[in-house]
Amino acid sequence: MLFSNIYKHKNIKKKFINLIKKKNFFQSQLFYGPKESSKLVIAIALIKYINCIDINNINSCNICNSCTKINNFIYSNIDLLFPINLIEKNINYLDKWISFFKKNPYNKENNWISFIKKNNKIYISKDQIKKKIQHTKISLDYNEYKFIII
């Protein structure tokens, strides 16, 4: 996901790019908006832009090691936290979520819940949160930033 692939929110993208160039962005950033908004894709484009070694005025390069890993969600400084079906614990929800996201990055959150729901036990569990907190304490692999997308 590149900033140039996101057709809306020009002012938000420009604001983030300027803050990153000045190295003056916030420690945490809350993306809030309607379910069908682009907040997840903007967050991912932002993470790529922060970590890319060859940015230009509007985009990350999309081919460096960091960009490639982020495109495949294997960048170790990113944690994803999303609801899972607690009844079916043997499913690799991360792979399932990545596949779901890649099919349509603009999918609504409710579509994910419908996609995995076979009963009413859809949660972000305490165990998931504990693992994410532990993971944030592990030293960083690539640079000084750690990202959690919830």
- Contacts with Zn ion, residue ranges (CB under 5 A): 52, 60-61, 64, 67
The H or E element containing residue 93 is: helix 93-103
43: how many CB neighbours lie within 10 A of its CB? 19
Q: In angstroms, give the least distance from the CB of 48 to Zn ion.
A: 7
- What type of residue is 109? E
Residue placing its CB nearer to Zn ion in the complex, 19 or 64? 64
Residue placing its CB nearer to Zn ion in the complex, 20 or 86? 20
Residue placing its CB nearer to Zn ion in the complex, 60 or 128? 60
| Residue with tokens 């090691």, as numbered in its chain | 65
| Beta strands 78-80 and 147-149, pairing class | parallel
Decide if 14 contacts 54 (C-beta within 8 A): no
Q: In angstroms, give the least distance from the CB of 120 to Zn ion.
A: 41
Q: In angstroms, give the least distance from the CB of 54 to Zn ion.
A: 5
